[in-house]
Amino acid sequence: MVRFLTVCCLISLLISGCADVIPPQSRMTDPDRLSPGNVIASAAKTEWPDEAWWKGYRDPQLDALVSKAVSGNPGLKTAMARVRLSLSFAEDMRAKTLPQGELDGSAQRERFTALQFIPPPWGGHTDWNNSASVSLSYDLDFWGKLKSRWQSSIDEARARQAEEREVRIELATAVVRSYLRLAEEFELQDIAQRHLAELDERAEIERRRMETGLGTQMALREALAPLPIARAAIEEIDLQIARSKSELAALAGEGPGGTESISRPKISLDSRTGLPDRLPAHLLGRRPDIAACRWRIEAARHGIDAAKAAFYPDVNLAAMTGFTALGFGQFIGKSAWMAGAGPALSLPIFDGGKRRADLAASTSSYDIAVEQYNAAVVRALKEVSDRLVALRTETAREAEDIDSLGIAKDAHEMAIQSYRAGLSGYRHVLETEAKVLKAEGALARIREKRLEAHAGLMLALGGGTK
């Protein structure tokens, strides 16, 4: 027996030489060798964003909406279920590394043949065939195949956990962006209503002028013509507000009525555009998508180890004991007792190249995981740079629009003073007021873009993930 096992192991070692000739072709990118670019390098250094970065907007209603979405969104719940599934699979892989035990028993009424090895009085008659046994087995896993599969499943579960964090961050960002659009729409609604009031006032002036004989029918019609368009614009904004509220409800996993009571957003944010120190190195540990890629590299590496171990023999220890007898008379007795124990060896020799193909597939999976990681690193730096450029641009444009609004307000104030002094008509006052409203609308839009760019930067930085 010892000689047989020795020969089998020697043959297996010779065959296993094929396991080491398919090296991976891809290498992980060194983040420190990637140039972050002038945009990132020139950014002011700040602390990493908090995990609840949206609280920087200082709006309790937004905080409540994000919390509701995180607890009720079906997409996030699906990601959480995938984590539980992967953890269950890892537990299944762990169980295979432990000793296994089974209890078997049967009692069957049979008619036994009289023409084979069944002795009398059972041959040619009907009686009970009974058995009961307990068996134990343990795969010694000398080459680490089961352990590697277990480790690979653990790494995959960790990748799923990172993906769940990514979904959570993307969900919070989606809520913030929808809320910012809602804030913009409320501001545009105010501006549109003031514009309608200005048009109504202008039409009323022309009506009084015509009644006193100072105006004309054409001037009155010109004043009345924009009113339907202005009312339609308000209705369109009202529709957009309803859609934004409905979108927030959907993100929270609720019906449209779940957010009908949302009040006007009250958003504020510091205009700083700094970046945390140690980019890109620290970015790799913060972004969940990069963390997931790294765990999948580890899972693929353990998959290669398991594929290599398949070239070696499986050695199991097995033991069993129990009773078996024909009839119930002596079923539980010394004569019916049976037992056995010993090693079992499974030695793969010829399989048509299956194990080598499995090793090649595992190596290719590793290369894929590495290249996905490399792409994620490059994409992360690009997204940070793009979001930072957008934030700086929108911040500068906001400052310009604030200046434009100030100029428009000054012109409007001068028009009012000129009208009161009798140097110009009221139409000039209304025209300058329209320019003020237009400048306010532009400022509301650019402010929403700046805030959205800030939210995009928080997402690109990994949402404050520790």
Q: Judge whether 150 lies within some domain.
A: yes
Q: Which CATH number goes with the domain that contains 92?
A: 1.20.1600.10
Interatomic CA distance for residues 150 and 94, integer angstroms: 6
CA 97 to chain centroid, in Å, comes to: 32
Q: Judge whether 103 lies within some domain.
A: yes
Q: Judge whether 24 lies within some domain.
A: yes
Is the pLDDT score of 176 beyond 80?
Answer: yes
Is the pLDDT score of 52 beyond 90?
Answer: no
- What is the pLDDT confidence band of residue 132, given thresholds at 50, 70 and 90? confident
Q: Judge whether 365 lies within some domain.
A: yes
Tokens, residue 71: 């607890």
Same domain flag for 151 and 230:
yes
Reading across the β-sheet that carries 100-111, which strands appear in turn? Answer: 100-111, 126-139, 314-326, 337-346
Q: Which of 305, 330, 347 is the last residue of a domain?
A: 347
b/e 50-85 (16+ beta carbons within 10 angstroms → b): ebebbeebebeebeebbebbbeebeebeebeebbee
- Across 47-56, 294-303, 306-315, the highest mean pLDDT is recorded for 294-303
Tokens, residue 345: 């060896």
User: At residue 278, what are phi and psi to the nearest 5 degrees?
Assistant: 65, 50
Tokens, residue 154: 């653990």
**pLDDT tens column, 136-164:** 999 988 889 999 999 999 999 999 999 99
Is the pLDDT score of 3 beyond 70?
Answer: no
Same domain flag for 135 and 189:
no
Q: Judge whether 465 lies within some domain.
A: no
Q: Judge whether 206 lies within some domain.
A: yes
User: At residue 429, what are phi and psi to the nearest 5 degrees?
Assistant: -60, -45
Same domain flag for 193 and 230:
yes
> Average pLDDT, stretch 110-132?
76
Same domain flag for 117 and 22:
no
Q: Which of 302, 332, 347 is the last residue of a domain?
A: 347
Same domain flag for 342 and 352:
no
> Average pLDDT, stretch 158-185?
94
Q: Which of 347, 362, 395 is the last residue of a domain?
A: 347
Same domain flag for 273 and 411:
yes
- What is the pLDDT confidence band of residue 108, given thresholds at 50, 70 and 90? confident
> Average pLDDT, stretch 256-271?
79
Q: What pLDDT does residue 292 have?
A: 95
Give the closest residue to 461 by CA, choosing from 210, 274, 225: 274
| pTM > 0.85: yes or no | no
Same domain flag for 77 and 10:
yes
Same domain flag for 219 and 329:
no
**pLDDT tens column, 409-466:** 999 889 888 877 777 776 787 788 888 888 988 998 998 898 898 899 888 888 766 5
- What is the pLDDT confidence band of residue 183, given thresholds at 50, 70 and 90? very high
Q: Judge whether 466 lies within some domain.
A: no
Q: Judge whether 289 lies within some domain.
A: yes
Interatomic CA distance for residues 361 and 306, integer angstroms: 12
Interatomic CA distance for residues 412 and 381, integer angstroms: 46
- Residue that has been written with the tokens 């009907």 in this structure: 126
Q: What pLDDT does residue 13 have?
A: 57
Domain count, the chain: 2
- What is the pLDDT confidence band of residue 36, given thresholds at 50, 70 and 90? low
> Average pLDDT, stretch 54-67?
91
Same domain flag for 405 and 438:
yes
Confirm if 90 and 153 have CB atoms less than 8 A apart: yes
Is the pLDDT score of 221 beyond 90?
Answer: no
Confirm if 194 and 437 have CB atoms less than 8 A apart: yes
Q: What pLDDT does residue 74 have?
A: 92
Torsion angle of the four alpha carbons 140, 146, 148, 150, in this order, in degrees rounded to the nearest 10: -130
Interatomic CA distance for residues 1 and 40, integer angstroms: 69
Q: Which CATH number goes with the domain that contains 327?
A: 2.20.200.10
- What is the pLDDT confidence band of residue 70, given thresholds at 50, 70 and 90? very high
Same domain flag for 337 and 201:
no
**pLDDT tens column, 331-356:** 777 778 888 888 888 877 788 888 89
Q: What pLDDT does residue 106 have?
A: 85
**Helix 60-72 × helix 145-211 angle, to 10°:** 140
- What is the pLDDT confidence band of residue 178, given thresholds at 50, 70 and 90? very high
Q: What pLDDT does residue 163 have?
A: 94
Same domain flag for 178 and 320:
no
- What is the pLDDT confidence band of residue 266, given thresholds at 50, 70 and 90? confident
Tokens, residue 86: 């992967």
Interatomic CA distance for residues 109 and 168, integer angstroms: 61
End-to-end CA distance of the chain: 57
1 or 134: which leads in pLDDT: 134
Same domain flag for 169 and 318:
no
Q: In terms of residue numbers, what domain contains 116?
A: 99-140+314-347
Percent of the chain with pLDDT over 90: 38
